[in-house]
Amino acid sequence: MMNAWELPTCLCVGGENWKIRTDFRAILDILKYFNDPEYEPDEQWEICLDILFEDYANMPYSIRNEAAEKAIEFIDMGIKDDGKRKPHTMDWEQDAAVIIPSVNRVLGKEVRAMEYLHWWTFLGAYMEIGESLFSQILNIRQKKARGKKLEKWEQEFYRDNKALIDLQVKRVERSQEEKDELRALFGFNKK
């Protein structure tokens, strides 16, 4: 179990502490790959663990499932979800331009200029975003996803900012040759 009062820099996997990359940019890279339809789930996990664990190449294969569980726990800051499926209403990449100013406001500094910022600090600031452009966008997305009627001002805001509010569907498709080459590169057998 994660200790919310500390900022972890390693995860205990297979009874051993493994150093992890904790800067928010590393975790956002991981999330980008999980949201990329060009990668198969096994490729996404391989990339995730390779980015997160500094010495992943030396991690025994037998503990990699446990490593994946610990990675999820770290990325989610130890907060368990209720298991209910929720509509997809945000995208770290697409929303970066409106998330960053909000996080900056919460932290009182420009996070992109910081050499290092622990993921949990960044995520905590994200969770504290109050009234902002991002919160307006998110509110409208959530209402639309649940089929709720938008108020008049929200309808107008949506019309004026449709490109900012509508989530883009990622449907980039690789050729079979590219998929086979990537799978071989990551050491996966073609299924």
Q: What is the pLDDT of residue 87?
A: 82
Residues 70-90: tens digit of each pLDDT: 999 999 998 888 778 888 899
Residue 158 lies in a domain: yes
| The predicted structure's pLDDT at residue 82 | 78
Q: Which two tokens stand for residue 140?
A: 């409208």
The verdict on 23 and 72 lying in the same domain is yes
- pLDDT tens per residue, range 101-131: 999 999 999 999 999 999 999 999 999 999 9
One domain for residues 71 and 117? no
Range of the domain at 50: 10-83+174-185
Residues 25 and 62 in one domain: yes
Among 87, 166, 108, 99, smallest CA distance to 127 is for 99
Residue 3 lies in a domain: no
Q: What are the structure tokens assigned to 83, written together?
A: 């298991």
In a shared domain, residues 105 and 79? no
Same domain, 129 and 79: no
Same domain, 159 and 179: no
Looking at the structure, do residues 54 and 102 belong to the same domain, yes or no?
A: no
Do 78 and 116 belong together in one domain? no
d(CA 12, CA 30): 20
Please indicate, yes or no, if residue 125 is contained in any of the structural domains: yes
- pLDDT at residue number 103: 97
Report yes or no on 42 lying in a domain: yes
Can you tell me the distance from the alpha carbon of 14 to that of 32, in angstroms, rounded to the nearest whole number?
27
